[in-house]
Homo-oligomer: A and B are copies of this chain.
Amino acid sequence: MVRIVQVGLGPLGVRAAREFLERDMGRIVGAVDPVHAGRPLAELVEGADPAVTIAPDLASLGCWGDTDAAIVTTRSALPDCFETLRDLLGLGVHVVSSCEELSYPWLQHPIMSQELHERAVKARRVVLGTGINPGFLLDTFPVALTGVCHTVRRVVAGRVQDATTRRIPFQKKIGATLSMEAFQAEVEKGTLRHVGLPESLHFICHYLSIPFDDWSETLEPVVAERDLECGLGPIPAGHAAGVRQVAVATRGGEEVVRLEFQAAIGQAEPRDWVELDSDPPLRAVIEGGVHGDAATTSILLNAIGSVREAEPGLRTMADVRPPRCQVRRDA
């Protein structure tokens, strides 16, 4: 039985909290979200202890004595979570977070990462960023598959999703229905980009010791070839049905790692895959792909056990034992 604090009560945080209780993993002893401050947690999360009131910030939250871990589902950029993570370490709890940049924080934020690492070591606690993408499919999974290889020359991994049945905010996030001009405008505002591909790319290069001299990330619309429909409304042919992002690391002009992320309305053959140019060669496919919403909260919860067993410090998914789903089948 684990005692946790849930920090962030957006859709992901509420879902994580609800599943934590459904799975009978332990107790939620506190919750933080300025938007919902003052409300009982049970109003948002069925089954929560009626005594738990949502706090506006960490400082307002009492009773840290027996807390094991915090689940942080607030922001994608590490600088936006940094103070929260630092303060949680000060309170002596482990942290599992969906912050995308935290999946490989050393890439964009080496100084913050070093500070978090030192504070975590001092507090004898662990901070871990995880998720499905980034966090598993395009980084942890391909790196783990190389465990059976003698040499690896090139790593290619991809995630192709059919967004037809996904929630409307997701369809909006991938630019579905937008004209080419409107799509480009959203790209320039930075609202369309799925965060994490560079982190996954550098995770792979770092943990597999793959040298590279250049890397890039591109983003383009998936153009509807015929009229389509989605939760947001009609998509005329020629408008965007979704987005395609590709991150590539090269050495001497030759690709050594390639990651593809594509999500579109009406996308054929959704799947996640890894292809290793290696000895022995290896091609793994997850047919139909992993459902993003359900899987993200699952891996966050499953990672709590990994974090509690890990060496203190700022860790990544390559450092810890693989999260696993321990279900009480009678639950």
Contacts and interface: CB of A to CB of B under 8 A. Distances in A.
Interface string A221-248: 0000000000000000000000000000
Contacts of A281: 288
A295 B211 contact: no
Interface in A276-313: 278-288, 290-291, 294-295, 297-299, 301-303, 309, 311
Contacts of A136: 147-148
A285 B284 contact: yes
A210 to B, nearest CB: 7
A287 B285 contact: yes
A23 B150 contact: yes
Q: How many copies does the complex hold?
A: 2
A46 interface: no
Contact of A151 (B23, B140, B311, B319): B23
A324 interface: yes
A208 B327 contact: yes
A320 interface: yes
Contacts of A109: none
Interface in A140-161: 140, 143-144, 146-153
A147 B299 contact: yes
A218 interface: no
Top 3 closest pairs, chain A to chain B, by CB? A147-B323, A280-B291, A144-B322
